[in-house]
Amino acid sequence: MASKLTLSNRAGWTFALPGFALIFTFIVLPFFFAIGLSLTNQRLLSPNPTQFVGLENYQQLLGLAVVTLEPERNDAGEMIRNEAGEIQYPRLRAITRSDDYPQYRGMREWFRWQSGENVMVVIASDVVFMKALVNTFLFVLVVAPVQGSLALMLALLINHRVRGINLFRTIYFMPVVVSIVVVSLLWRFIYDGQNGLLNSILQALTFGLFQPVDWLGNPSTALPSVMAMSIWQAVGFHMVIWLAGLQTISPTLYEAAAIEGASRWQTFRYVTWPGLRNTAVLVLVVITMQGFALFAQIDVMTSGGPLDSTQTLVFQAVERGYGKQDISGGSTISVILFAIVLAISLIQRWLTRER
Amino acid sequence: MAVNPDNYGLRLFVRYLVLCLIALIFVFPLVFMINSSFKPDSQLLADTASLRAFLPVGDISLNNYFGAFRRAPVGLFVLNSVLVTGATVLLSLLICSLAAFSFAFLQWKGRDVLLSIVIATLIIPFETIAIPLLLLVSKLPWIGLDGLHWGWLNSYRVQIIPWIADGLTIFLFVQYFKGLPGELIEASRVEGANWWQVYYRVVMPLSGPVLATAAILKFLVMYNQYLWPLIVVQQESYRPVMVGLGYFFQLNVAWGEVMAYLTLITVPVLVFYLLLQRAFIASIASTGVKG
C-alpha cells in the first residue's frame, strides 16, 4: 500500500528518468526505428530523399519459389539425353530472364532435387540471405543442446566438495572473460590446414594416419568448426548458471534419496533435474539469444566464407547496413532476426512452462 | 554404504585426472598465445605443428612486443579502452542504481509501465538494433566546447553513452534492493532524510555485492567490445583494443606481433579475473537469479 512515506511522484521520476531516457533513446527507439527503416530505401549518406517502399525489402530478402524443369523433348516427344545418358533440362535462365514469368525475375537457384523425370528447383531472390538464415538456425540447433548439456555435465562434475575444486572451476570459466575476438584469432591457428594445432594433435593421436583438413577453408567443416569453438568458449558461462541452480536444491532431498536407496541416475532424474527446471529455461534462452547474435567469430575467422557456408544473419545485417551503407536492408534483416528471437523464446517458455 | 578406502582413493584419482584433462582443453589456446608472443614468426609457424607450440623453447625474445608498439599505437588503443570502459562502468552504476532505487522503493505514477518497458528490453539482443542505432547516432546533436555538432561517429561519447543504461543492470539492482529490509528505508524517512540521502547514506553503503556484480558484468562487456566500435569508429585516435587489432592485419600479417598484442590486452584481464574470480563467477551466477 502506498503510504505518504513512499508516494513521491517527483522524486520517483527524477531518479528513474536518466536511466529510462537512455534506455528509451538507445534501445527502444532504434528498435522501432528498425521497423520503420525496413519499410524505406534509406541509405547512410545518401543524396536522394528517403522513400517509403512498403514491404519491398522483405520481398527482396524472403522471396522464394519452386519451379519445375521438364526434360527437353524432341519432336517425337522423346527425352533428349546427352552423351553420358543424362536427361537434358532447359536452363534455369530461360525462366528467370523470361518475360513470361515476371514474378521470377532476378531470382537465383538455391538448390534443386530430382522428382521423377522432372527437376524441382528452389529459387530465391537472395540466396546468400537464405544461406545465412539456414546457417543461423543450424548453429542454434546444434549449439543450444550440446553446449547446454556439456555445461550441465561440467557443473555436476565440479559440484563435489573435494580439495582444489575451486581451481578447476576458475580454469573452466577462464575463456569466458577473454574476448571472443582474441579467442577466435587463436582458434584460427588451431584450425589451420597446413600446420594447425588440431591437425598436429589428431595426427599424433592416430600415429600419422589422419589426413590434415583445412577446417575453416572447407565448406563442409567451416560451420561445425565455428560451432565447436563457440561451445568451448562459452560453456563455462553456462556451467556457472547451472551451478547456481544446483545450489538452490535442498540437501535434505538428496539425504532422503540416499535413505531411500536411490541410484545415482535415479537421484539425478527425480531430485536434481526437477530442481533445475527454471535454470534449464534460462540457459536455453540465453544460449539461443547468443546463438542468433553470432557475429564476431564469423567476422574474425571466416568472413562468411568459404562459399557462404558460414554466413549468418547478423553478419549479413552488418555487411549490408555498414559495409554497403544499405541501412534499410540491414534494418530489415534486424527485424526478421528479432521476430525469430521473440518467437523462439516464446516457444521455449511455453515448452518449459509449469504444468 | 561402506566405502572401501582403496577404492575411494582410486576414484578420487580418476576424478582429478578427468578434471585435469578438461582443464587442459580450456587453457591450451592461452598457453599457446603467451608462448608464441616470444617467438619469431618463422619459429612460431613451424612450432604449431608440434608440442613445441606450448613450450617456451628456441629463439625467445621480447622483439614481438617492440614490433607491436612500432606497428600500431598500442598504448593509445589501451588508453581508449580503459577510458571508455571505466567511464561507462562508473556512469552505469550511478544511473542504473538510481533508476532501480526509484523502481524498488518509490511509488509514483507510471512506475510499473516504465519498469515493464525496461524489463522487456532484455529480450532485444544488441546485434538486432546495431544498424538502426548506427543511423541514429550518426545524426544526433552534441554541444561541445566549440559549439553545436551533428553526428556522434568517431568519438568517445558514441562508445560510452548508449551503453550506460541497460535492462539487465537495472534488473539486478531492483532484485537486490527488494531484498533489503524495507523498515530501514521507512525509519530513515521518519528521521527526516530526503530520498537522495536515503539513496547514498542508507542504500548505497549496503549495496557492495550488487555494485561489484554489475561492475564486473559491464567491465566484461565494455572491454571486450567489438561490433559497435567497429562500425562507429573509423578514426584511429578513438579506437579501442579489440578493433585496434585490425591494424595488424593490414598488408602482411606479422603473427608474432599479433600474439604479443593479444597477450598485452588479454593478460591484464586474466590477472584481474584470477584475483577476483569469486566475484566474477558470482556475477554471472546472479544473472541467473529468477525474477
Q: What is the pLDDT of residues B221-269, one digit of tens each?
A: 999 999 999 999 988 899 999 999 888 887 778 889 999 999 999 999 9
Residue A2 pLDDT: 46
Residue carrying the nine cell digits 530465391: A124
Phi, psi dihedrals of residue B144, rounded to the nearest 5°: -105, -175
ipTM rounded to 2 decimals: 0.90
Nearest CA-CA partner of B28 in A187, A227, A213, A203: A187
Residue A148 pLDDT: 95
CA angle A111, A113, A118 (to 5 degrees): 125
Which chain B residue is nearest to residue A189, measuring alpha carbons?
B48
Contact B45/A12, CB-based, under 8 Å?
no
pLDDT in tens, B140-150: 888 878 888 88
CA-based torsion, B243, B248, B253, B254: positive or negative:
negative
User: Distance between CA B289 and CA B177 in Å, rounded?
Assistant: 14
Contacts of B274 (CB under 8 A, 6+ apart): A170
* 3-state SS, residue A213: coil
Nearest CA-CA partner of A150 in B26, B283, B125, B13: B26
Confidence of residue B5 (pLDDT cuts 50, 70, 90): low
Contact present, B16 and B242 (Cβ < 8 Å): no
Nearest to A12 among B106, B128, B166 (CB): B106
Strands (E), chain B: 141-144, 147-150
Residues from chain A that touch B105, judged by Cβ atoms under 8 A, are 6
- Higher pLDDT, residue A147 or A53: A147
User: Distance between CA B279 and CA A69 in Å, rounded?
Assistant: 63
User: Distance between CA B70 and CA A318 in Å, rounded?
Assistant: 31
User: Distance between CA A199 and CA A219 in Å, rounded?
Assistant: 17
User: Distance between CA B11 and CA A109 in Å, rounded?
Assistant: 58
User: Distance between CA B216 and CA B282 in Å, rounded?
Assistant: 10
Contacts of A236 (CB under 8 A, 6+ apart): A151, A154, A172, A173, A174, A175, A176, B26
Residue B4 pLDDT: 59
Q: Does B135 lie at the interface with A, CB-CB under 8 angstroms?
A: yes
Which chain A residue is nearest to residue B169, measuring alpha carbons?
A19
Rounded (10°) CA dihedral B139, B142, B144, B147: 80
CA angle A27, A31, A35 (to 5 degrees): 170
Q: Does B166 lie at the interface with A, CB-CB under 8 angstroms?
A: yes
Q: Does A346 lie at the interface with B, CB-CB under 8 angstroms?
A: no
How do the residues of chain A divide into helix, strand and coil, expressed in percent and rounded to 5? 60, 10, 30
Mean pLDDT of chain A: 87
Contact present, A49 and A57 (Cβ < 8 Å): no
Mean pLDDT to the nearest integer, A224-242: 94
- Provide the grid cell at A68: 519445375
Residues from chain B that touch A276, judged by Cβ atoms under 8 A, are none
Rounded (10°) CA dihedral B70, B75, B78, B79: -150
Residues from chain A that touch B98, judged by Cβ atoms under 8 A, are 15-16, 18-19
Confidence of residue A196 (pLDDT cuts 50, 70, 90): confident
Contact present, A323 and B130 (Cβ < 8 Å): no
Q: Does B204 lie at the interface with A, CB-CB under 8 angstroms?
A: no
Residue A5 pLDDT: 52
User: Distance between CA A155 and CA A128 in Å, rounded?
Assistant: 39
For the residues of A121-154, what is the DSSP string, one character each? EEEES-HHHHHHHHHHHHHHHHHHHHHHHHHHHH
Residue A354 pLDDT: 67
Which chain B residue is nearest to residue A291, measuring alpha carbons?
B125
Contact A12/B107, CB-based, under 8 Å?
yes
Mean pLDDT to the nearest integer, A255-259: 91
CA angle B5, B8, B9 (to 5 degrees): 90
pLDDT in tens, B164-175: 999 999 999 999
Mean pLDDT to the nearest integer, B167-193: 89
pLDDT in tens, B27-51: 999 999 999 999 998 888 888 777 7
Residue A355 pLDDT: 61
Contact A195/B103, CB-based, under 8 Å?
no
pLDDT in tens, A132-167: 999 999 999 999 999 999 999 999 999 887 888 889
Nearest to B136 among A30, A180, A299 (CB): A30
Q: Does B24 lie at the interface with A, CB-CB under 8 angstroms?
A: no
Confidence of residue A40 (pLDDT cuts 50, 70, 90): confident
Nearest chain A Cα distance for residue B74, angstroms: 15
Residue A60 pLDDT: 83
Nearest CA-CA partner of B28 in A223, A159, A302, A196: A196
Task: Say whether pLDDT at A333 is over 70.
Answer: yes
Phi, psi dihedrals of residue B147, rounded to the nearest 5°: 100, -165
pLDDT in tens, A85-142: 788 888 888 777 777 787 787 888 888 888 888 888 888 888 999 999 999 999 999 9
Task: Say whether pLDDT at B129 is over 80.
Answer: yes
Q: Which helix (H) or strand (E) holds B170?
A: helix B167-179
Contact present, A185 and A300 (Cβ < 8 Å): yes
* DSSP at A76: T
What part of B 54-93 touches A (C-beta under 8 Å)?
A: none
Q: Does B186 lie at the interface with A, CB-CB under 8 angstroms?
A: yes
pLDDT in tens, A2-24: 455 556 788 888 899 999 999 99
Phi, psi dihedrals of residue A7, rounded to the nearest 5°: -75, 110
Task: Say whether pLDDT at B80 is over 90.
Answer: yes
| CA A13 to chain CA mean position, Å | 39
pLDDT in tens, B153-164: 888 999 999 999
Mean pLDDT of chain B: 88
Residues from chain B that touch A192, judged by Cβ atoms under 8 A, are 48
Mean pLDDT to the nearest integer, A334-347: 89
Contacts 24+ apart (CB under 8 A), A127-132: A127/A308, A128/A308, A128/A311, A128/A316, A129/A61, A129/A62, A129/A316, A129/A333, A130/A64, A131/A308, A131/A309, A131/A311, A132/A304, A132/A308, A132/A311, A132/A312, A132/A313, A132/A315, A132/A316
Contact present, B229 and B243 (Cβ < 8 Å): yes
User: How many percent of chain A have pLDDT more than 70?
Assistant: 97
The count of CB pairs under 8 A between chains A and B is 287
User: Distance between CA A255 and CA A261 in Å, rounded?
Assistant: 10
Measured from the Cβ of residue B251, the count of other Cβ atoms closer than 10 Å reads 6
Nearest chain A Cα distance for residue B236, angstroms: 18
Q: Does A291 lie at the interface with B, CB-CB under 8 angstroms?
A: no
Task: Say whether pLDDT at B271 is over 50.
Answer: yes
| CA A105 to chain CA mean position, Å | 30
Mean pLDDT to the nearest integer, B280-288: 80
Best of A156, A170, A177 to disrupt the B interface by mutation (most B CBs within 10 Å)? Answer: A177
- Provide the grid cell at A69: 524443369
Task: Say whether pLDDT at A181 is over 50.
Answer: yes
Nearest chain B Cα distance for residue A123, angstroms: 27
CA distances from B150 to A325, B140, B143 (A): 19, 6, 9
Nearest CA-CA partner of B261 in B28, B101, B73: B73
Phi, psi dihedrals of residue A125, rounded to the nearest 5°: -65, -35
Residues from chain B that touch A18, judged by Cβ atoms under 8 A, are 95, 98-99, 165
User: Distance between CA B26 and CA B34 in Å, rounded?
Assistant: 14
User: Distance between CA B43 and CA A272 in Å, rounded?
Assistant: 50
Phi, psi dihedrals of residue B78, rounded to the nearest 5°: -65, -45
Nearest CA-CA partner of B216 in A290, A177, A171, A178: A177
Contact present, B39 and B59 (Cβ < 8 Å): yes
Does the bond joining A306 to the residue before it have cis omega, within 30 degrees of 0?
A: yes
